[in-house]
Each structure stands twice: as C-alpha cells, then as structure tokens.
Amino acid sequence: MSTADSTTRICLIGNPHKPDVPAAFERIRAWLAQRPVRLTAELDGEAALRLAEPHDLVIVLGGDGTILRIAGLLGERQAPICGVNMGKLGYLAEYSVDDLHRHFDRIVGDARLVSHRMMLDVETQAPGAAAQRRIACNDCVIQAGPPYRMIEMSLRLDGDEVTRLTGDGLILATPTGSTAHNLSSGGPILQPDVQATIVTPICPHSLTLRPVVVGPDAVVEVVALRSNEGTAAVIDGQLSTPFPTGARIVARRSATTFKLIRHPDLPAWKTLIRKLSWGHGPTR
C-alpha cells in the first residue's frame, strides 16, 4: 500500500446543482491543496475530465447520478472514482466528507479498495442514421415513450433470435445496475464483481417472459419491430437516443471497467442491507 505523493494526480469534481456541494467543494479543495498531490479542481469538471492527462483518482461530490455522469464522461479512460454522498440514496457514493479525510491515505494507496466492475459497450443504429456508440455503467433501458402504446422487439443472443416480446420496454443491465431500474422491474440482484448482463423485460404482455442473466461474452441484440414516436434507448438514465421501428441495439461487455472505491468499513453486502433494506423480515 502506497500513500499520496507529488506524482499522484487527483481530480476533484462536484455537482453544482446540489445545495451543499459548493461549500464542501471549497473546503475539500483547500484541504487537498495542502497535501503533496497534483490537483485539478473544477466544480462542474467536464473540461478537466477531457484533459489528455489521465488521473489516478477522481473525487466526486454528489449522488449516484453524478457518479454515473462522470463515469460516462471518462469513457474508455476510466480512473478510480471516490464518491462523496451529497445526494439522497448514495448507493455508489459511500463516503461522507469526514470519511474522505479519515481514509484518504487508503483511498489513494490501497488498491484492494478498488472494485472493478463490468461495463457495457452499447451501439445504437437507426435506419438511415450513423451508428452511435456509448458506454453504460448501469444500464441501457429501452422505454416505450409517448403515446405509451406497447412496443414490439426482437431479442437476439449471439446472433440467434430467442424471442419476440411486446411490452413497455427492455432493460440491459450490468451487475452494478442490477440494483437500479432492473431491481424496480423485478430483475435479479447481482454481486458487483460478477461478469454478466441482465436482460429484464418491462411489463411484458406475457406470463412466461422473465428476466435472464447471460454470460460475459454474450452479444445481446435488440431490434425494434414496432415503436412509438417517443420510444428511446436511455444510457444510465442520462443519455437518450431515439429508437424508432427498424432500429437496433447491440450490447456487449466493454473492454473498460468501472472503478469504484469501496468504503473500507463497509462489508460488501452492507450497503444493500442498509440502504435498500434487503433481507429485512416483517415488522409489527
């Protein structure tokens, strides 16, 4: 285990739209400026993340949505992310400001705290349009959209059509995303370091269509057979692409991994139990 030194490149970023973030950002920036690190600090740090120089650590002040946005901006140049919770649930953002100060040397120097998580390469191709390729940390969600009629899709695994489904949409989730929209739609919870893709229908018009988990090398393809005017494919709840009839999505494991720094005092399953009340029995 090493400690921070003058070669350690740290990027400090915050979500300026959260009321408590600007003041906390200034306090942490002043604190980091006194330490022997190379610091880049921008409250809304999109420009900092686009610098050619990579970072050894990205400290994110915000909530889970902020972390997903930063991971998306990093793209194929992922760096370990330490999330300081300034949002609501804070499922991915496990640290408080006090935790950041108390555990800083371990955050910087203990590689055992870095959770390497599978991401998805998602390519969307609409008829007559150029293909768009994005990386998903949580999920790619196909939503029926207005006027909210059911849509019809063909689901293919490794080139073979396995079913046609009609419903309100479809979720392709990573293990990290298994506790997000996938969970709300009845999909399974996966341990974050599992290598797999979850395929979960949203309100399918069938009693037999259930979520499935496919292996890490599976190529998942979804073709829109009948869409609505507002049908879209949404990456990590943030980037939306129209998904008209005839469009297709191809998702596969990314060569890049999402690197999240875990809290040293929280066992692997503690967050699931504490934040989502998993496994709690009935109460009077």
At 230, which CATH number? Answer: 2.60.200.30
Q: Can you tell me the distance from the alpha carbon of 53 to that of 135, in angstroms, rounded to the nearest whole number?
A: 20
- The token pair at 79 is 């760096």
Provide the residue-wise pLDDT of the chain in tens; the chain has 284 residues.
556 666 899 999 999 999 999 999 999 999 999 999 999 998 886 766 665 578 899 999 999 999 999 999 899 999 999 999 997 878 999 999 999 999 999 999 999 999 999 999 999 999 999 999 999 999 999 999 999 999 999 999 999 999 999 999 999 999 999 999 999 999 999 999 999 999 999 999 999 999 999 999 999 999 999 999 999 999 999 999 999 999 999 999 999 999 999 999 988 788 888 888 888 877 76
Q: Can you tell me the distance from the alpha carbon of 144 to that of 16, in angstroms, rounded to the nearest whole number?
A: 32
Backbone angles phi, psi at 178, to 5 degrees: -65, -25
* Statement to judge: residues 95 and 132 lie in one domain: no
Identify whether the C-beta of residue 100 lies closer than 8 Å to the C-beta of residue 59.
Answer: yes
Residue carrying the six token digits 């009693």: 207
DSSP state, residue 137: S
Assess if residue 282 is contained within a domain: no
Rounded (to 5) percent helix, strand, coil in the chain: 20, 35, 45
pLDDT of residue 52: 56
* Statement to judge: residues 62 and 145 lie in one domain: no
* Statement to judge: residues 84 and 182 lie in one domain: no
* Statement to judge: residues 250 and 132 lie in one domain: yes
Q: Can you tell me the distance from the alpha carbon of 42 to that of 189, in angstroms, rounded to the nearest whole number?
A: 35
Assess if residue 283 is contained within a domain: no
Beta strand residue intervals within 126-264, DSSP E: 132-136, 139-143, 151-157, 160-167, 169-173, 197-202, 212-214, 220-226, 232-235, 239-242, 248-261
* Statement to judge: residues 98 and 222 lie in one domain: no
Assess if residue 168 is contained within a domain: yes
Assess if residue 94 is contained within a domain: yes
* Statement to judge: residues 140 and 100 lie in one domain: no
* Statement to judge: residues 26 and 132 lie in one domain: no
Assess if residue 81 is contained within a domain: yes
* Statement to judge: residues 79 and 57 lie in one domain: yes
**Which residues, 6+ apart, have CB-to-CB distance to 245 below 8 Å?**
224, 225, 226, 227
* Statement to judge: residues 171 and 208 lie in one domain: yes
pLDDT of residue 273: 87
What's the first-to-final CA gap in the chain, in angstroms?
47
Assess if residue 17 is contained within a domain: yes
* Statement to judge: residues 125 and 180 lie in one domain: yes
CATH number of the domain to which 56 belongs: 3.40.50.10330
pLDDT of residue 268: 79
pLDDT of residue 280: 83
Whether omega for the bond prior to residue 147 falls within 30 degrees of 0, making it cis, is yes
Q: Can you tell me the distance from the alpha carbon of 228 to that of 242, in angstroms, rounded to the nearest whole number?
A: 10
pLDDT of residue 282: 77
Q: Can you tell me the distance from the alpha carbon of 55 to that of 154, in angstroms, rounded to the nearest whole number?
A: 41
What's the structural domain count of the chain? Answer: 2
- The token pair at 148 is 């909210």
Q: Residue 205 CA to chain centroid, in angstroms?
A: 28
Assess if residue 2 is contained within a domain: no
Domain that residue 150 falls in: 119-255
Q: Can you tell me the distance from the alpha carbon of 79 to that of 58, in angstroms, rounded to the nearest whole number?
A: 7
Identity of the residue numbered 264: P
Q: Which residues are catalytic?
A: 64
Helix and strand element counts for the chain (H, E): 7, 16
Assess if residue 87 is contained within a domain: yes
* Statement to judge: residues 59 and 131 lie in one domain: no
Q: Can you tell me the distance from the alpha carbon of 112 to that of 10, in angstroms, rounded to the nearest whole number?
A: 18
Q: Can you tell me the distance from the alpha carbon of 188 to that of 199, in angstroms, rounded to the nearest whole number?
A: 10
Q: Can you tell me the distance from the alpha carbon of 5 to that of 15, in angstroms, rounded to the nearest whole number?
A: 27
